[in-house]
Chain A
Amino acid sequence: MLIEARQITKAFGGFTAVDRASLAVEPGEILGLIGPNGAGKSTLFNCLTGDLRPTSGCVLFEGRDVTRLAPEERARLGLARTFQVPQTFEHMTVLENVMIGAFLRTSRTSEASARARAVIDTVGLGPLADTPAHSLGTPGRKRLEIARALATRPKALLLDEAMAGLTPAEIARAIALIRDIHASGITLVIVEHVMEVVLSLASRVVVLHQGREIARGTPAEVTRDPVVIEAYLGKRAARAANRDAPESTGRSP
């Protein structure tokens, strides 16, 4: 296993955001982490990256217990992430933003600059390298965050709602980019609200609801699961789904 989360619980005061959730990511796969709003996806995600420390449970990276390591120490081991709300370095150029990532593997400015430029070209931000980050729109920022994370030369990349706020055409381009990254040998964990994205990318999916894991399996399996349908659309929709199904008995006349 590349990343493993065992029995993670995270409570904020009396509220348990994540309740004994476990997760295992194999090297080379794309794991989707889905669930309705407030399901605890982001909280679990932040426990993996070190932004939050779980109340109980542990996180392993390449078999090593990293539960108590700071985010920067996990980055050094090869764990990179993006943020749901882009956290670009606003007062820096696109190139400088990516250099921050590249500096993890070199202390020389010229080398960091050269590596950053190469990464910027691969994600298609090349012509914008010297523009200030604050002039980018949402799609540009999302892409910049991915570039910055790639510049750290990660083994695993964790994407937190990389599609939020994108138009369908932009989503299509972002999916293509994520496929390229996966093809280059990087393991991916994607937290996603947009179901279609997860279904087209992930090989396995874990579904969270109210802090608990309610389903896991291939995308096709979990989307047929009535528990998942109920979590997403409510009881009535789940009943309606049953009703419409051919084997359903339907409402009595």
Chain B
Amino acid sequence: MRALGVAVGSVAILAYPLVFSTPFQQRLGALVLLYAIGASAWNIVGGYAGQVSIGHAVFFGCGAYGALVSYQHLGLAPIAGLPIGVAVAILIAAVIGVPTLRLSGHYFSMATIAVAELVRLVVANTEWLGGAQGLSGPPVPRTLLDLSFTSALPYYYLFVAVLSAIIGLTWWIERSRIGYYLRAIRDSERAARSLGAAAPRYKLYAFILSAALTAVAGALYAVMFGFVDPESGLGILISVKMVIMAALGGAGLLLGPLVGAVILVPLEELSNSLLGGAGAGLTFVAYGAIVMAIARFQPGGILQRVLRLRRKARPAPAVPVAQP
């Protein structure tokens, strides 16, 4: 049953751009995957470990700027900047994480917002990083390594590969000690520590891994769009989208972020094309409404609700759910 679901899902994802083959549809598919990559990366620290970062845009920006800096200043292919972006993201995650992850509560969330906004302002005023105008990629591809294509199809399959790798990694984490520890820390940090889980250390591991993978998403974004500015690379809306997609689909669930992206990205693209420039403001309003709806009705996200319904449909266990 489970294997069948995986097989059907994989075929659907691989066949989508061939069935829905207009440029708009292919681009939409690639965007869904790109956001699913970002939200899956966020999910590791925000979902599994329950440490809600609202500043992941800073790591996304590291990847995006890393890619285009390597082109602008080093003359390399943008993708060659990926390790730079990842390294800077890891550094920033450590700087934020070491002091704030020792504390519980909202200190961490607040610190992530503050750092992300700070970095956005600094970048917007740094000439070397393009200032408010931003940075561009190669206008015409020099080699295949520039990964500059007019069709979205190659990006689509590149993103499928990256997303599969991230989901595979998350799947492995879920089944290993660190995954169990992260979920325990999310439920009760105090109890987890009393049982020997070094909570500050494990939260930091999750945060750093999540930051590094978010930087990968940012680099892929820059490679596909060939452009980044402080708003599109470091804006708070990017952070908020990652949180909302993961939360809507199901935070702390393997495929939650993908489900969230499949629902939200088409909605956003649709509203943008229908409303034009005015759509940007409306997007904020819509996201605010979604946050409230999740908080009110579906704290576990859509996927959690589906899983619960399926569990209910199964015959009840022989043992009564009573107190021993």
Contact = CB atoms under 8 A, between A and B. Distances in A.
B and A form one assembly:
yes
Interface of A: 49, 51, 70-73, 75-76, 80-81, 83, 87-92, 96-97, 99-101, 103-104, 107, 109, 112, 124-125, 127-128, 130-131, 135-140, 143, 145, 148-149, 151-152
Nearest to B179: A109
Given A103-B180, A104-B195, A51 B190 contact: yes
B196 A72 contact: yes
A249 to B, nearest CB: 52
A128 B180 CA distance: 19
Contacts of B319: 127-128, 131
Contacts of B191: 83, 87-89, 145, 148
Given A128-B319, A131-B319, A137-B323, A80 B184 contact: no
A87 B185 CA distance: 11
A72 B197 CA distance: 6
B310 interface: no
Nearest to B190: A87
Interface string B146-170: 0000000000000000000000000
Interface of B: 175-177, 180-181, 183-184, 186-188, 190-199, 252, 317, 319, 321-324
A107 B175 CA distance: 11
A149 B198 CA distance: 16
26 contacts: A51-B194, A71-B193, A72-B194, A72-B199, A73-B198, A76-B196, A83-B190, A87-B190, A87-B191, A87-B194, A89-B188, A89-B191, A91-B187, A92-B184, A97-B184, A100-B184, A100-B192, A101-B196, A103-B181, A104-B195, A109-B177, A112-B177, A127-B319, A130-B317, A139-B323, A151-B195
Chain B CB count within 10 A is highest, among A83, A89, A128, A145, for: A89
Contacts of A71: 190, 193-194
B309 to A, nearest CB: 15
Contacts of A80: 194-195
Contacts of B181: 100, 103
Contact of A103 (B175, B194, B196, B317): B196
A107 B180 CA distance: 11
Contacts of A88: 187-188, 191
Given A89-B187, A109-B175, A96 B195 contact: no
A209 to B, nearest CB: 27
B53 to A, nearest CB: 20
A75 B196 contact: yes
Contact of B193 (A70, A107, A125): A70
A81 B193 CA distance: 11
A73 B252 CA distance: 27
Give 10 nearest A-B pairs by CB, closest first.
A104-B196, A87-B191, A75-B196, A89-B187, A137-B323, A87-B188, A127-B319, A71-B193, A140-B323, A100-B184
A107 B324 CA distance: 30
Nearest to B200: A70
